[in-house]
Amino acid sequence: MLKENGKVFNIWFRILKELPGSLFKEHLENIKGRKKMSAINTTKNKIYISTITVFWITFALFIIVTAGMYLYVVPYIGIITGVYLRVLISIMGIALIILAAKTIFSKISKVFFILTGAAALGMGLSAVLHNLVFALLIKIFGEGVWAGMGDEPVFFILATIICPLALLVGIIGSIVLLKKKKVIAY
């Protein structure tokens, strides 16, 4: 009896498959394509989760580094937020740029995530470049080179004002889009 039911099912299966414009045919194609799509979706899902994770780590590092820049009255804050955290926030910025470029986000989401990554990279890199340029110019021209100015201004302003503001804009925009669930492009 099972064989007979199987034959009947096969006959109906063939009839439904051959109908022109059949929804059944589309359903079969979707089932066949799911195996291929599941491997692709798993990879895309890993990239998406990695991007969001790196974003939140960058956000946490931003809070710590900014606290170190502006809350200098807290004891030992300079030791905690030294060069290592600036290098780490730069590495996280690079990772966020790469992951955001690979992930399938909506256009505006991609812009905010890349802005966040670029500003994090610029914030750490500008702080390191500020100190290197300052030391290099003192080495070349002597200690009196900054008598009128006091410090190297370009990378200092980038590291302390422009990049943190750009990072704040990128973080706020990304959080708003995450909250509204308008991150992934459909």
For the stretch 122-141, pLDDT in tens is 988 888 888 888 888 888 87
CA distances from 110 to 45, 105, 164, 185 (A): 16, 6, 19, 10
Q: Residue 102: what pLDDT?
A: 85
pLDDT digits (tens, 9 = 90+) for 138-175: 888 777 766 666 667 888 888 888 999 999 999 999 88
Locus of tokens 């809350």: 71
Quote the tokens at residue 51. Answer: 């991007």
Answer whether 113's CB lies under 8 Å from 51's CB. Answer: yes
